[in-house]
């Protein structure tokens, strides 16, 4: 079979795996590890495959030991010394990428300044409590049974936490290790999307132009540590939203709409940053919201699209958002202010992201991974109790 055809088939398989999240913990980690392996990021691939072995359903992925051994072998291969050769004028010309109108990242060596050490103003939106029907009959099995949930009023941040805000936290606390990983993966990258926080000596800064983009490559531990730090700094009880609070707020309260923007397809600024025609130009094999263009292949600055009816931005799309809960089965009986299971192996994250197609951008969709998971489309937002 021609090499070009083999390459195309491999690329389609990888993008399909990344584009379609599943409820198989080890399957998802295995697919992400394969992406790193193909890009010769062997250490990252080994970490993801080792995390897959800790999944409760690891028995589904019987080849993990072989994959880890393969990656270690490739990592330890001696690097041959390059043979000097004479270059011609044509060979010394720089390679120029074709011009694009997509959101082109700025150079990683752009001039950066550390953010000032000031807490963000508390612009939180009060979400009035109420009773809604949590879950969905048209979704995955873990969205059932649909059950009645009553919530007390609470506050939620209108935006996802940004690079600039998280950078203040890192300059105060450092990038500590918890759960076996650092709070944020500063070297994290997926094609042209990457962590935009840079460490120079002991100072953390944001790459110029990315201050208002959502922070990504943050573990659940890193999200919770930020909440704890900001709470101590401001005296306000910041935390991650519960899964029930998140779904209620995303779906416009008791209305419980399918997407944060409503029940229909997205349209212009009333939509969100999801898998769209812009992304399909880059990833031709993706499933997308057909006919919709949001202008971004990857994440967008927070607040780039219109808020939902409650005044919250980017609840469907842009980046997935960690919730406080361990993953558990839904009960059939009515619940009041549910907190999720008392323990577990995987944490919930919600909301879809820039690569999510219709099924995965729904407000009722549940996603999950081990709390040490860090990825290019995963961030968080804050909540706090109403006083």
**Greatest alpha-carbon span in the chain:** 76
Pair of tokens at residue 87:
């270059």
Residue 312 lies in a domain: yes
Do residues 239 and 318 both lie within one domain?
A: yes
**Cα(150)–Cα(130) distance, integer angstroms:** 6
Pair of tokens at residue 125:
């939106």
Contact 252, 308 (CB under 8 A): yes
For position 161, what pLDDT does the model report?
A: 98
Nearest to 177, CA basis, from 44, 372, 378, 375: 372
For position 114, what pLDDT does the model report?
A: 53
Domain total in the chain: 3
DSSP state of 88: P
For position 232, what pLDDT does the model report?
A: 96
Do residues 313 and 333 both lie within one domain?
A: yes
**Cα(379)–Cα(202) distance, integer angstroms:** 23
* Candidate from 116-120, 171-175, 247-251, 353-357 with smallest mean pLDDT: 116-120
Comparison of pLDDT for 78 and 140, the residue scoring more: 140
Contact 350, 143 (CB under 8 A): no
**pLDDT single digits (tens) 58-68:** 777 877 787 88
CA-based radius of gyration for the chain: 21
Cα dihedral 224→217→326→275 (10° resolution):
130
Do residues 374 and 232 both lie within one domain?
A: yes
Residue 117 lies in a domain: no
**Cα(210)–Cα(224) distance, integer angstroms:** 22
**Cα(18)–Cα(6) distance, integer angstroms:** 19
Contact 189, 221 (CB under 8 A): no
- Angle CA 346–354–380, to nearest 5: 45
Residue 364 lies in a domain: yes
**pLDDT single digits (tens) 4-19:** 444 444 444 444 444 4
Q: At what angle do helices 220-234 and 163-173 cross, to 10 degrees?
A: 80
Do residues 138 and 269 both lie within one domain?
A: yes
Do residues 151 and 248 both lie within one domain?
A: yes
Range of the domain at 189: 163-217
Residue 79 lies in a domain: no
For position 30, what pLDDT does the model report?
A: 72
Residue 83 lies in a domain: no
For position 64, what pLDDT does the model report?
A: 79
**pLDDT single digits (tens) 144-169:** 999 999 999 999 999 999 999 999 99
Backbone torsion region of residue 369, taken as left when φ is above 0, otherwise alpha when ψ lies between -120 and 50, otherwise beta: beta
DSSP state of 182: E
> How would you class 345 by CB atoms within 10 Å of its CB: exposed for 0-12, middle for 13-18, buried for 19 or more?
middle
Nearest to 110, CA basis, from 187, 210, 190, 188: 210
For position 116, what pLDDT does the model report?
A: 54
Do residues 153 and 170 both lie within one domain?
A: no
Residue 102 lies in a domain: no
Comparison of pLDDT for 356 and 75, the residue scoring more: 356
Q: Which of 49, 74, 99 is at the close of a domain?
A: 74
Q: Residue 370's Cα: distance from chain center in Å?
A: 13
In the sheet that holds 347-350, the strands lie side by side as 367-369, 347-350, 320-326, 378-379
Residue 375 lies in a domain: yes
The dihedral sign for the CA sequence 125, 232, 242, 58: positive
Rounded mean pLDDT, 325-341: 97
Cis preceding-peptide flag for 5 (omega within 30 of 0): no
Give the list of residues 6+ apart from residue 202 with CB closer than 8 angstroms, or none.
Answer: 174
**pLDDT single digits (tens) 253-296:** 999 999 999 999 999 888 999 999 999 999 999 999 999 999 99
**Cα(295)–Cα(293) distance, integer angstroms:** 6
Pair of tokens at residue 137:
């009959």
Residue 303 lies in a domain: yes
Do residues 298 and 179 both lie within one domain?
A: no
Domain holding 269: CATH number? Answer: 3.90.1580.10
Do residues 186 and 152 both lie within one domain?
A: no
Do residues 141 and 187 both lie within one domain?
A: no
Do residues 232 and 381 both lie within one domain?
A: yes
Can you point out the beta strands (E) in the chain?
A: 125-127, 130-134, 147-151, 154-156, 177-178, 181-182, 189-190, 193-194, 197-200, 203-206, 238-239, 320-326, 335-336, 347-350, 367-369, 378-379, 383-385
Task: Supply the mean pLDDT for the chain.
Answer: 84
Do residues 236 and 375 both lie within one domain?
A: yes
Residue 237 pLDDT > 50: yes
Rounded mean pLDDT, 121-141: 92
Residue 323 pLDDT > 50: yes
Do residues 284 and 152 both lie within one domain?
A: yes
**In Å, how far are 81, 91, 92, 95, 147 from 86, measured between CA atoms?**
16, 10, 10, 18, 72
């Amino acid at each position: 079979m021609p090499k070009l055809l083999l390459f195309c088939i491999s690329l389609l398989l990888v993008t399909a795996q990344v584009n379609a999240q599943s409820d198989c913990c080890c399957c998802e980690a295995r697919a992400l590890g394969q992406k790193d392996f193909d890009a010769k990021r062997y250490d990252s691939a080994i970490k993801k495959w080792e995390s897959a072995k800790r999944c409760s359903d690891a028995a589904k992925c019987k080849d993990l030991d072989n994959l880890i051994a393969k990656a270690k072998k490739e990592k330890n291969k001696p690097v041959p010394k390059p043979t000097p050769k004479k270059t011609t004028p044509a060979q010394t010309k720089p390679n120029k990428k074709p011009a694009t109108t997509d959101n082109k990242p700025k150079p990683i060596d752009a001039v950066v300044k550390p953010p000032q050490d000031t807490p963000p103003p508390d612009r939180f939106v009060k979400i009035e409590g109420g009773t809604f029907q949590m879950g969905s009959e048209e979704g995955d099995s873990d969205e059932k049974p649909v059950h009645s949930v009553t919530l007390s009023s609470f506050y939620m941040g209108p935006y996802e936490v940004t690079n600039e805000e998280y950078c203040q936290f890192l300059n105060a606390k450092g990038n500590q290790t918890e759960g076996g990983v650092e709070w944020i993966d500063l070297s994290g990258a997926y094609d042209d999307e990457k962590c935009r926080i840079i460490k120079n000596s002991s100072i953390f800064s944001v790459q110029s132009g990315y201050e208002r983009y959502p922070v990504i490559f943050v573990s659940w531990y890193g999200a919770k540590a930020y909440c704890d730090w900001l709470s101590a700094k401001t005296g306000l009880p910041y935390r991650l939203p519960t899964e029930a609070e998140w779904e209620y707020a995303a779906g416009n309260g008791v209305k419980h709409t399918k997407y944060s923007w409503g029940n229909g397809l997205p349209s212009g600024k009333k939509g969100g940053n999801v898998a769209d025609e812009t992304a399909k130009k880059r990833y031709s094999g993706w499933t997308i919201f057909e006919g919709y263009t949001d202008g971004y292949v990857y994440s967008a600055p927070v607040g780039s699209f219109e808020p939902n009816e409650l005044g919250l931005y980017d609840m469907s799309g842009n980046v997935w958002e960690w919730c406080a809960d361990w993953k558990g089965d839904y009960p059939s009986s009515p619940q009041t202010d549910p907190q999720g299971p008392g323990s577990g192996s995987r944490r919930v994250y919600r909301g879809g992201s820039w690569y999510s197609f219709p099924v995965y951008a729904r407000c009722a969709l549940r996603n999950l991974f081990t709390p040490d998971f860090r990825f290019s489309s995963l961030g968080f937002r804050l909540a706090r109790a109403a006083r």
